[in-house]
Amino acid sequence: MANFLVFAETRGADLRKVAGEAVSVARRLADASGGGEVHAVVAGPPGVAQKADTLGRFGADVVLAIEHPALATFAREAVAATIAQRAKSATYRAIVLGFTAQGRDLGPRLAAKLDAPIVSDVTEVQIAGDSLTVKHPAYANKVVVTLSITGTPAIVSVRPSAFAATEVARAARVEPLAPAIDPATTRVKVVQVIEGAKGRPDLADAPVIVAGGRGLKAPENFKLVEDLADAFGNAAVGATRAVTDEGWRPHADQIGQTGRQVSPQLYVAVGISGAIQHLAGMRTSKTIVAINKDREAPIFKVADYGIVGDVLEVVPALTRAVREAKKGH
């Protein structure tokens, strides 16, 4: 029997989707190693402990709540020190967290503080006795590496949306966890959070992504991409590196090898030729649609459904058709 510790990520006072996924992974691993407990750490402003119910639903036995006004933003040093202190005072087989902006920062800190082996961005995890094995897409998703990890606790960061958050009936008991260092006096301080576009899901969470490339010809034509995303209703907007390098869109929107890596249910590539750099960021999407004027463009080699044509003409027509189809539901 072995216990597992999870970092259940929040933004402000809200749990992120990946928190449930990480708890689910830990639940499955705990069950596979004889039914140990899952302890989920949640850090946030006072009141964040009330989110515990949700974590219980995904299989947490204990919710460890670090509450402090300065945790309304990610006080990384305080969170890392507190989790490390907890992990030293108990025995955990592994610590599970999301491979997100927070998790990428927190995981290596914990590894160093606990002298614990770490694997990042994993898409599969297996445990059998002392052996922990993971799959990790490396080389920008072009090679899948199977890694074996020896030593405890192992630190495992999971790729968002790679694991399902599975509901199990469980009531978690909540215990306060005191910060190991004062979250208000850390050496790295968040001074401002700049919110992104309102009303659109993030690229990591969106079931549909509409992305635009240089085939749109001018930055103002990105409106067509946004209109199509609005027609789907649940879509995020992405861009190619060529477009973000030109400054048509912020760098944060870039999908590709050096940008975001996404796997939505539906990916619509608008005026994107399909450079290897871009394909590395989206080739794991479930269904790919491509609209491009060049029949020879490499994007058509991976597109389940391709339309050859001028994006300025085809995209507005598609937007109207999607709106109609949505109305029919």
Partner 1 sequence: MKIAVCIKRTPDSETRFRVGASGSSIDEGGVKFDMDDFASYAVEVALQLKEKAGSGEVVAIALGPDNVQETLRKAMSMGVDRGVQLKADAVPFDGLAVAKALAAELKSSAFDLIFFGKHAFDTSEGVVGTATAELLDLPCVTAASKLEIANGKGTARRELEGAAEMVEFSLPAVVTIDEGIARPRYPSLKGIMSAKKKPLETKPAQLGTPRVAVKSMALPPDRPPGRIIGEGSAAVTELVKLLQTEAKVL
Residue closer to partner 1 (CB basis): 50 or 277? 277
**In whole angstroms, how close is the CB of 169 to partner 1 at the nearest point?**
30
Both structure tokens of 44: 């946030």
Residue closer to partner 1 (CB basis): 1 or 143? 143
Q: Is the peptide bond before 153 cis (omega within 30 degrees of 0)?
A: yes
Residues 28, 39: Cα–Cα separation, whole Å = 13
H/E segment holding residue 126 = strand 124-128
Residues 131, 139: Cα–Cα separation, whole Å = 25
Residue closer to partner 1 (CB basis): 3 or 100? 100
**In whole angstroms, how close is the CB of 175 to partner 1 at the nearest point?**
26
Which residue intervals of 47-162 are DSSP H helices? Answer: 52-57, 76-89, 101-114
Residue closer to partner 1 (CB basis): 58 or 232? 232
Residue closer to partner 1 (CB basis): 200 or 214? 200
Q: Do residues 111 and 118 make contact, with C-beta atoms less than 8 angstroms apart? A: yes
**In whole angstroms, how close is the CB of 11 to partner 1 at the nearest point?**
8
CA dihedral over 218, 220, 221, 226, signed as positive or negative: positive
N- to C-terminal Cα separation, the chain: 49
**In whole angstroms, how close is the CB of 258 to partner 1 at the nearest point?**
5
Residue closer to partner 1 (CB basis): 117 or 215? 117
Q: Which residue has the tokens 């009531």?
A: 171
The rounded Cα 309 to chain-centroid distance in angstroms is: 34
Residue closer to partner 1 (CB basis): 171 or 193? 193
Backbone φ and ψ of 293, nearest 5°: -80, -20
**In whole angstroms, how close is the CB of 170 to partner 1 at the nearest point?**
27
Q: Which residue has the tokens 């998790």?
A: 103
Nearest alpha carbon to residue 96 among 174, 172, 149: 149
Residue closer to partner 1 (CB basis): 49 or 254? 254
By CB neighbour count within 10 A (0-12 exposed, 13-18 middle, 19+ buried), where does 178 fall? exposed
**In whole angstroms, how close is the CB of 57 to partner 1 at the nearest point?**
22
Residues 172, 62: Cα–Cα separation, whole Å = 5
**In whole angstroms, how close is the CB of 132 to partner 1 at the nearest point?**
10
**In whole angstroms, how close is the CB of 172 to partner 1 at the nearest point?**
25
